[in-house]
Amino acid sequence: MTARNVNTIFKREFRSYFNSPVAGVFLVAFLVLVGFLTFRVSHFYEARQASLDRFFMWHPWVYLLLVPASTMSLWAEERRSGTLELLLTFPVTLAETLLGKFLAAWAFIAIGLACTFPIIITTAWLGSPDMGAIVTGYLGSLLLAGSCVAIGTFSSALTRSQVISFVIALSACLILNLAGFEPVTGMFAAWAPRLADAIASCSLLQHFNALCRGVLDFADVAYYVSVIIFSLAAAHLVIDNRKAS
- Predicted local distance difference test score (pLDDT) of residue 159: 86
Residue pLDDT, tens place only, 20-54:
777 788 888 899 999 899 888 887 777 777 778 88
Range of 154's domain? Answer: 3-244
Taking the C-alpha atoms of residue 195 and residue 213, their distance in angstroms, rounded to an integer, is: 24
- For residues 87 and 235, is the Cβ–Cβ distance under 8 A? no
If you write DSSP's letter for every residue of 97-155 in order, what string do you get?
HHHHHHHHHHHHHHHHHHTTTHHHHHHHHHS---HHHHHHHHHHHHHHHHHHHHHHHHH
Taking the C-alpha atoms of residue 43 and residue 229, their distance in angstroms, rounded to an integer, is: 37
- For residues 220 and 245, is the Cβ–Cβ distance under 8 A? no
- For residues 129 and 45, is the Cβ–Cβ distance under 8 A? no
- For residues 199 and 185, is the Cβ–Cβ distance under 8 A? yes
DSSP, res 191: T
- Predicted local distance difference test score (pLDDT) of residue 191: 64
What phi, psi does 171 have (nearest 5°)? Answer: -65, -45
Taking the C-alpha atoms of residue 103 and residue 8, their distance in angstroms, rounded to an integer, is: 11
Straight-line distance from the first to the last Cα atom of the chain, in angstroms, rounded to the nearest whole number: 24
Number of compact structural domains in the chain: 1
> Which pLDDT band holds residue 89 (cuts at 50, 70, 90)?
low
Give, in degrees to the nearest 5, the angle at Cα 186 between 184 and 190. 135
- Which amino acid is residue 206, in one-letter code? Q
DSSP, res 110: H
pTM attached to this predicted model:
0.89
Taking the C-alpha atoms of residue 194 and residue 235, their distance in angstroms, rounded to an integer, is: 31
- Predicted local distance difference test score (pLDDT) of residue 190: 65
- For residues 166 and 72, is the Cβ–Cβ distance under 8 A? yes
Residue pLDDT, tens place only, 133-146:
899 999 999 999 99
